[in-house]
C-alpha cells in the first residue's frame, strides 16, 4: 500500500514528535461521554469516514507550512555539522530533532483543526503548540530516562502496538510494516524507538504521578451538584466493540474465526470485563481503548444498528454479527436518556475530569523536580522555549586537532559546558 494509516495514538511515533505528556489516558477515560465522538460504527463498515469540512470552506487557503531553517555548515571544514541545542544528562537534543518536532507538531495541528478552525484559529493553535515543542522534547527525555532507571519494561507493549499498526494497515507481517514505514521516509529503528519512549513515559507518569492521585465519590458528588446544567443531554449511547477480522481470510478459516468471536462473547457473559476481552481478542483499531468507539445520538449510526442498540440498556450485548469486515460484537456501555443525567450515569465521567484536573499540575511539579535533579543545559536563545535548565551551553569552536581526530565521524558544532563551571566538571 502506498500510505500507512495512523490513528491519533500513533502520531507521536512517526517522526520523533513532541510528547503530549499531559494527554495520557486515565483509567476511566474510555467511558468519558465528553470526548469527541469516534467515527460511527456500521454493520457492514463499523466506522464512518472522518467529519466533512464545513460547507463553503472547502476552498479556504491553508496557511503555508513554515520551513525550518537549515543547519549551517562548518566554515572551517565545509561539511554539514549537527547543532546541539540542549543536553539532558547524558543525552542530547539536536536542532534536527527539534525541527522534526516542529514539523510534526504542525502536521498534527492541521489534522486536528481540519474542518473545525478558521485560518486565524489554526495559526493561534500552531503558535501555542510550537512554543512548547522543545520543552516537551526535554520532558520526554527526562521521563524516558526515569523509566529506564526504574527498570520499567515495555518491549511486550511495543510489539503489541506495532502489531496493531500492522493489522490496521492490513499488512501480512512485520517485514511488510517495516517496508511501509521506510517507504514514507521514516527510519524503522527511530519509528520503534519513538513508540517505545511514548509507552515508557506514559508508564512513568502513571506509576510516579497518577498512582498518587485519588478522587473520592464525595468529590464527584459535589462537582455534580454544582454543575448539573452540564449534564443535560439528548438521548445517546456509548458503545464498545470487539471485531474478529475476516478480510482476506480463506473460507476454511471462517469457522475458527467465528468460534473466536463466540468465545469472546461467552467470556463477557460469564463475567469477564468487555474492555479486557477487547484488548486481548479484538482485531480492531480500538482494542487498546478496550473497544470504546464513542458516544452516538440517534441518526449517527447505521439504521440497522441504531434500531438494535437504542433498545438496549447499560452493559447489554449484541449477538455475534457477521459482516463483510468480520464478526462484530457491540456493548452498550451506557444509555443516556434525554434530559438531565443522573449522578450514577455520569460519575465515571466526573471522576475522570477531576483526575485530569489534578494530573496536569502534578505532572508539571514532577517534571520540575526531575529537572532540578538532572543536568539540563540549554543553548542561549532557546531557554524560554525549553522551560528552563540548570545552565547554558556555551559555544566552543572545534579546533583543528579536534577536527582531525574526528575525521570521518559525525561532528557537532557545540560541545556544551556549564556556565561558570570548573573545567573539571
Summarize pLDDT for 153-170 with one digit per residue, the tens: 999 989 988 987 887 787
32: helix, strand or coil: coil
> Is residue 14 scored above 90 in pLDDT?
no
DSSP single-letter state for residue 191: H
What confidence category does residue 94 fall into, taking pLDDT thresholds of 50, 70 and 90?
very high
Q: Which contacts qualify for 147-153: CB closer than 8 Å, 24 or more apart? A: 147/200, 147/201, 147/203, 147/204, 148/200, 150/204, 150/207, 150/208, 152/200, 152/203, 152/204, 152/207
pLDDT at 297: 92
> Is residue 49 scored above 70 in pLDDT?
no
Q: What's the predicted TM-score (pTM) here?
A: 0.61
What confidence category does residue 272 fall into, taking pLDDT thresholds of 50, 70 and 90?
very high
Residue 267 sits at the vertex; the CA angle it makes with 344 and 323, to the nearest 5 degrees, is 95
Residues 391, 419: Cα–Cα separation, whole Å: 6
* 329, β-bridge pairs: 242
Q: What domains, with CATH codes, occur in the chain?
A: 1-23+91-213+355-425 (1.10.4030), 235-337 (3.10.50.40)
Q: Find out whether 7 and 188 touch, Cβ atoms under 8 Å.
A: no
Q: How many CB atoms lie within 10 A of CB 4?
A: 18
The percent of residues in the chain predicted with pLDDT above 90, rounded, is: 42
CB under 8 Å to 232, separation ≥6 — which residues?
339, 340, 341
338: helix, strand or coil: coil
> Cα dist. 377→74, 248, 250, 418 in Å?
22, 53, 58, 7
For every residue of 370-404, DSSP letters joined together read: HHHTS-EEE-TT-HHHHT--SEEB---PPPHHHHH
CB under 8 Å to 167, separation ≥6 — which residues?
245, 283, 285
Amino acid at each position: 500500500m502506498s500510505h500507512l494509516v495512523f490513528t491519533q495514538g500513533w502520531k507521536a511515533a512517526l517522526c520523533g514528535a513532541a510528547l503530549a505528556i499531559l494527554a495520557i489516558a486515565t483509567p476511566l477515560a474510555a467511558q468519558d461521554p465528553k470526548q469527541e465522538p469516534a467515527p460511527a460504527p456500521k454493520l457492514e463498515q463499523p466506522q464512518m469516514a472522518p467529519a466533512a469540512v464545513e460547507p463553503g470552506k472547502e476552498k479556504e487557503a491553508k496557511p503555508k507550512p513554515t520551513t525550518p531553517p537549515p543547519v549551517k555548515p562548518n566554515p572551517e571544514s565545509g561539511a554539514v555539522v549537527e547543532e546541539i541545542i540542549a543536553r539532558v544528562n547524558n543525552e542530547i537534543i539536536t536542532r534536527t530533532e527539534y525541527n522534526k518536532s516542529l514539523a510534526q507538531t504542525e502536521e498534527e495541528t492541521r489534522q486536528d483543526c481540519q474542518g473545525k478552525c478558521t485560518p486565524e484559529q489554526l495559526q493561534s493553535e500552531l503558535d501555542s503548540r510550537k512554543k512548547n515543542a522543545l520543552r516537551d522534547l526535554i520532558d520526554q527525555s527526562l521521563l524516558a530516562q526515569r523509566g529506564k532507571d526504574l527498570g520499567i519494561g515495555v518491549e511486550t507493549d511495543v510489539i503489541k502496538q506495532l502489531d496493531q499498526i500492522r493489522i490496521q494497515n492490513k499488512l501480512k507481517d512485520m517485514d511488510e510494516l517495516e517496508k511501509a514505514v521506510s517507504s514514507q521516509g521514516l527510519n524503522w529503528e527511530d519509528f520503534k524507538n519513538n513508540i517505545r519512549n511514548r509507552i515508557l513515559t506514559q508508564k512513568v507518569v502513571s506509576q510516579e504521578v497518577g498512582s498518587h492521585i485519588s478522587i473520592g465519590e464525595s468529590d464527584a458528588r459535589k462537582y455534580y451538584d454544582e454543575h448539573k446544567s452540564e449534564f443535560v443531554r439528548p438521548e445517546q449511547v456509548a458503545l464498545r466493540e470487539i471485531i474478529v477480522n475476516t478480510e482476506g481470510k480463506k473460507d476454511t478459516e471462517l469457522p475458527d474465526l467465528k468460534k473466536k468471536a463466540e468465545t469472546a462473547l461467552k467470556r463477557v457473559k460469564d463475567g469477564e470485563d468487555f474492555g479486557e476481552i477487547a484488548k486481548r481478542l479484538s482485531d480492531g483499531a480500538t482494542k487498546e481503548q478496550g473497544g470504546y468507539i464513542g458516544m452516538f445520538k440517534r441518526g449517527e449510526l447505521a439504521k440497522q444498528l441504531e434500531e438494535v442498540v437504542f433498545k438496549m440498556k447499560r452493559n447489554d450485548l449484541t449477538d455475534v454479527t457477521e459482516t463483510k469486515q468480520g464478526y462484530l460484537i457491540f456493548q452498550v456501555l451506557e444509555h443516556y436518556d434525554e434530559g438531565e443525567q443522573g449522578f450514577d450515569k455520569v460519575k465515571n465521567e466526573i471522576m475522570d475530569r477531576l483526575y485530569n484536573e489534578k494530573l496536569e499540575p502534578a505532572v508539571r511539579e514532577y517534571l520540575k523536580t526531575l529537572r532540578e535533579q538532572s543536568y539540563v543545559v540549554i543553548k542561549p536563545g532557546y531557554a524560554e522555549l525549553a522551560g528552563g535548565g540548570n545552565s547554558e551551553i556555551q559555544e566552543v569552536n572545534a579546533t583543528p586537532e579536534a577536527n582531525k581526530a574526528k575525521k570521518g565521524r559525525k561532528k557537532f558544532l557545540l560541545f556544551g559546558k556549564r556556565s561558570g563551571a570548573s573545567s573539571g566538571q
